């Protein structure tokens, strides 16, 4: 696989001829709505068992080998008609041998909402180990607000994907609530009621695991949260269920802030089957324009995480969205959420060129709207996805977890599948 960055004057036809890949495959793999419009700076996935390269002016074996990350020896072996490494190959079609891909197996989780279209679910299931259906909201009395999840659970099981029930401390009609978490974590009777309701739902809905996503927990409830996790594991593991948690992206144990302090990395890692680290939302709805998941920030989190959590238990969070900010940023204003495909289509519509931030390893562009307001858009493409997924191997992580799979971005799954084998149940 090659990730190609579109240049001015490129077309699908030219790229197809240059790399020896059918036009229809390029169009389908990159979900090109209008194949006649490519955006300068746009990333394209080029998938083939072999590739051809049409040499530029003054290119030789050495420069082509460097471009594709292959050895000069392998290029000469694949192209015996080329006499030497220094031969000028201008205009010649050079066969690029693809090295054997020695993939290792990883586990992949995807969060879905009950209203996620089933065609999106079914298209995504081949790339998942787990699917976490978001979410059963816990009420202060230990009861659960049910969700219509039967269709997704059944589809998951038919696709050899393990469905996980998600419980959250989200208040009905609101957001994450510290007070609800406090009641659950400190009242034993409420905990018993909650556990009984969770087990009943797991059995009735045919789930295979539980994902606990308690956020904005009071710092004083840190040990109470640990004891609650221990109680859940002791109740569910003998019944054959796995238990995982979703935790905030910390870079040190004593990181201050309501989002972080009650999440005890070492304890979660010691007792749970997996820990999902939410390594995204540096750029967020009510914050200033910046990458959603800059690789330098993600790596800082992982460096701390693997020092206290067994790496094979960690699923690194991956966003599947971007944001469109209006500039200048005004505190209290909100960015517009945008899918990765929508971002490229917007760039095409407004005539913007897509740039790539080397430090953050993320694509972005700017444009003016009809009211002459400047915008900045950050999103993900095959390049940024590949860069972050390399961290799974670098830190020997168990895998990755996507927030969310509510829209189907094929580039992501092709890159993932090219890099790793995906474990199935």
pLDDT digits (tens, 9 = 90+) for 258-292: 999 999 999 999 999 999 999 999 999 999 999 99
Q: Angle, nearest 10°, between helix axes 188-205 and 178-186?
A: 100
Residues of the chain short of pLDDT 70, as ranges, are 99-102
**DSSP assignment string, 178-198:** HHHHHHHHH-HHHHHHHHHHH
Residues 6+ apart with CB under 8 A from 78: 95, 96, 97
Find the helix or strand (DSSP H, E) in which 304 lies: helix 295-308
81 is catalytic: no
What pLDDT shows up at residue 282? 98
Coil, strand or helix at 71: coil
Query: Strand, coil or helix: what is 239?
Result: helix
In this prediction, residue 101 carries a pLDDT of 66
Please list, in sequence order, all residues whose beta carbon lies within 8 angstroms of the beta carbon of residue 209, skipping any fewer than 6 positions away: 130, 162, 163, 164, 165, 241, 242, 243, 244, 273
As a whole number of angstroms, the distance between CA 118 and CA 133 comes to 13
Q: Return the pLDDT at 61.
A: 92
Contact 204, 161 (CB under 8 A): no
d(CA 76, CA 61): 8
pLDDT of 28 reads 96
Which pTM was predicted? Answer: 0.92
Cα gap 416→391, rounded to integer Å: 12
Question: For strand 130-138 and strand 105-112, is the pairing parallel, antiparallel, or unpaired?
Answer: parallel
Sequence ranges of the domains in the chain: 2-96, 105-320+380-422
pLDDT attached to residue 316: 99
Produce one character per residue of 149-176: b if its CB has 16 or more CB atoms within 10 Å, e if not. beebbebbbebebbbbbbbbbbbeeeeb
Phi, psi torsion values for 93, nearest 5 degrees: -85, 120
Question: Which residue is catalytic, options 215, 261, 376, 386?
Answer: 215
Three-state SS for 40?
coil
Residue 52's pLDDT is: 80
User: In 10 A of CB 203, how many CB atoms?
Assistant: 11
pLDDT, position 84: 84
Q: Measure the CA–CA gap between 347 and 364, rounded to whole angstroms.
A: 9
For domain 105-320+380-422, the question of CATH label 3.40.50.970 is answered with no
Cα–Cα dist 239/232, whole Å: 11
Fold of 2-96: Membrane-bound Lytic Murein Transglycosylase D; Chain A (3.10.350)
């Amino acid at each position: 696989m090659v990730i190609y960055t579109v240049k001015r004057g490129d077309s699908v036809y030219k790229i197809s001829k240059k790399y020896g890949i059918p036009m229809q495959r390029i169009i389908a793999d990159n979900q090109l709505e209008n194949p006649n419009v490519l955006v300068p700076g746009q990333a394209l996935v080029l998938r083939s068992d072999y590739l051809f390269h049409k040499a530029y002016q003054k290119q030789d074996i050495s420069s082509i080998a460097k471009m594709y990350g292959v050895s000069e020896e392998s290029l000469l072996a694949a192209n015996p008609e080329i006499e030497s490494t220094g031969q000028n190959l201008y205009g010649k079609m050079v066969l690029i041998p693809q090295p054997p891909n020695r993939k290792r197996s990883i586990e992949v989780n995807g969060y879905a909402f009950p209203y996620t279209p089933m065609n999106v679910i079914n298209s995504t299931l081949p790339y998942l180990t787990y699917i976490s259906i978001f979410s059963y909201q816990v009420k202060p009395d230990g009861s659960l607000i049910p969700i219509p999840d039967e269709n997704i659970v059944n589809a998951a099981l038919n696709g050899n994907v393990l469905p996980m029930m998600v419980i959250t401390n989200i208040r009905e009609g609101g957001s994450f609530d510290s007070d609800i978490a406090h009641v659950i974590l400190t009242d034993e009777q409420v905990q018993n009621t909650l556990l009984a309701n969770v087990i009943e739902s797991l059995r009735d809905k045919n789930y295979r695991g539980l994902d606990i996503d308690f956020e904005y927990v009071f710092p004083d409830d840190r040990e109470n949260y640990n004891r609650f996790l221990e109680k859940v594991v002791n109740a569910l593991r003998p019944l054959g269920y796995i238990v995982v948690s979703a935790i905030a992206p910390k870079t040190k144990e004593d990181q201050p802030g309501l989002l972080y302090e009650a999440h005890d990395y070492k304890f979660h890692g010691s007792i749970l089957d997996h820990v999902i680290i939410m390594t995204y939302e540096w750029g967020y709805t009510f914050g200033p324009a910046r990458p959603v998941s800059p690789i330098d920030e993600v790596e800082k989190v992982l460096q701390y995480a693997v020092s206290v959590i067994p790496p094979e238990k960690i699923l690194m969070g991956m966003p599947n969205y971007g944001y469109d900010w209006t500039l200048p940023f005004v505190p209290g204003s909100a960015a517009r959420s945008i899918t990765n495909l929508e971002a490229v289509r917007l760039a095409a519509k407004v005539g913007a060129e897509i740039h790539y931030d080397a430090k953050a390893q993320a694509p972005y562009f700017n444009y003016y709207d009809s009211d002459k307001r400047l915008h900045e858009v950050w999103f993900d493409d095959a390049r940024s996805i590949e860069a972050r997924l390399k961290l799974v191997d670098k830190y020997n992580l168990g895998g990755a977890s996507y927030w969310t799979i509510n829209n189907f971005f094929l580039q992501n799954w092709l890159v993932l599948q090219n890099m790793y084998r995906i474990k199935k149940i």
